[in-house]
Amino acid sequence: MLNAMRERGTGRAELRGDCERCFGLCCVALPFTRSADFPVDKDAGTPCGNLREDSRCGIHARLRPEGFTGCTVYDCFGAGQKVSQVTFGGQDWRTGPPGHARRMFEVFPVVRHLHELLWYLTEALTLPAARPVHADVRRMLAETERLTAAAPEELAALDVAAHRQRVNALLLRTSELMRAGVRGKKKNRRNADLMGARLKGADLRGADLRGAYLIAADLTGADLRGADLIGADLRGADLTDADLTGAFFLTQPQLTAARGSAGTKLPEPLSRPAHWTADA
């Protein structure tokens, strides 16, 4: 996959969920709890009641009206098809030998974490200001890709947290290089509790918003150009007419969890969520 990534530039198309090549792993392996995101409880390893025998969702077109908002904002970063077709050779969890389903469900979250890291590392290579660390990023990208190709037993035993720490050190350096090129005073709101904050029209250019809690925050018309948004919780945040041009380490699930409008400016290669409207 790594060579394919290089041939296609960023390669991020390979790091998006492809349900056609997956056995509905996120609908079985992961748990969910009755909340604003889900109308029912489900244990890990138990198939969702809406999962059909063909591994498709029976209410896909009605997920939001039915209360399954959490499903609409989830993306496995391509881990579903990787585990289904590569790690387990295309063998469905329903028909495999004893223990096959359990091991598949153990491995899926591990590969999902690794693929999320691949997304960030691949993005880092597209950022010109981060050129001083590109060689290290390429090495870490290759190592992370190698880990995703490991056998199920190795993946299940992998210390994902330790690997994430090593990757994060590079991403932090990338963030510093990127934000250094943004003019003006840059706010550091890393891991800040900004839930429901009134940030309408705020100047957040080059801000460090890593891990910030921006749930239901009013970011209408805010200037987020060049901001680091890795891990920021944007559930219910209002991004109407906000400018996210050049914002980095932002993912499609983060955008989909937020609200926005036709006037919201997005960084490439992210797309405007279908539920955003011109007058949101």
| H/E run at residue 3 | helix 2-7
Give the pLDDT score at 91: 95
Give the pLDDT score at 13: 72
Q: Per DSSP, which regions of 137-224 are E strands? A: none
Burial degree of 64 (CB within 10 A; 0-12, 13-18, 19+): middle
Going residue by residue through the chain, which has 280 residues, state the pLDDT in tens, using 9 for 90 and above.
333 333 333 367 789 899 999 999 999 999 999 999 999 999 999 999 999 999 999 999 999 999 999 999 999 999 999 999 999 999 999 998 889 999 999 999 999 999 999 999 999 999 999 999 999 999 999 999 999 999 999 999 999 999 999 999 999 999 999 999 898 888 899 999 999 999 999 999 999 999 999 999 999 999 999 999 999 999 999 999 999 999 999 999 999 999 999 999 999 889 999 888 744 4
Task: Note the helical H segments in 1-83.
Answer: 2-7, 26-29, 69-72, 79-82
Burial degree of 182 (CB within 10 A; 0-12, 13-18, 19+): middle
Q: Which of 229, 238, 233, 235 is nearest to 260 (CA)?
A: 238
CA 62 to chain centre: 22
Phi, psi (rounded to 5 degrees) for 32: -145, 155
Give the pLDDT score at 12: 72
Residue keyed to tokens 């091991």: 103
Amino acid letter, 169: A
Q: Check if the beta carbon of residue 124 is closer than 8 Å to that of residue 133.
A: yes
User: Residue 135 has what DSSP assignment?
Assistant: H
Q: Check if the beta carbon of residue 265 is closer than 8 Å to that of residue 221.
A: no
